[in-house]
Amino acid sequence: MQKVNVKVRKAYPEEIDTVFECHKQCFEQGDQWYKSVIGQNIKSTYVVVVEANNEIIGVMIQGDIKPCEQSEADDFEPLDKTGEMFKNNNFHLDNLFGITMLCILPKYRNKGIASKLIDFHLKMNQDEMLCLNTRKSNPAINLYLKKGYKHIANIKNKYFSPNEDSYFLIKD
């Protein structure tokens, strides 16, 4: 496939159906969000579009992330001093800010598009401490680490269908 010229822009409220369809193509059944949840977050949603035809090929939602609920507090397993500090100060129970969802249509993956979205997110929020959760099996973990995120903890059984641990990462 040839290089595709893309741009990142805010999603429009009337694009909720297209954003939801993109999301459905990217995630397995157990990981899919409800359309209503995406709708509630549309104001903090950014899309990657092909410049030639305005086709949405990727989505990023920013927002509040609570690593653990109180009932899951013991599932937060620090990996280093930063992770221990998070747990000791109960930051893992607070609302933090970061990427809550990022997806690129399968046929456009491995072309630098996710990297462009992450760079956009980092530039927009350069004075913030940012975080994200990702499945342990997600190959994008390597991209997050290249972008300067630090894996500070695991969260046991964070995901379901299938059940899987989460990597909790921060970017300071």
pTM comes to 0.89
For 73-108, the pLDDT digits (tens) are: 899 999 999 999 999 999 999 999 999 999 999 999
Extract the tokens encoding 2: 């040839």
The residue with tokens 């899951």 is: 72
87 and 94 Cβ atoms separated by less than 8 Å: no
pLDDT at residue 161, rounded to an integer: 74
Mean per-residue pLDDT, 12-33: 82
Considering the chain, what percentage of its residues have pLDDT values greater than 90?
72
Q: For the chain, which domains are there?
A: 6-171 (3.40.630.30)
48 and 58 Cβ atoms separated by less than 8 Å: yes
Report how far apart the first and last C-alpha atoms of the chain are (Å, whole number). 36
- Spatial neighbors of 96 by CB under 8 A, at least 6 apart, are 64, 65, 66, 67, 129, 130, 131
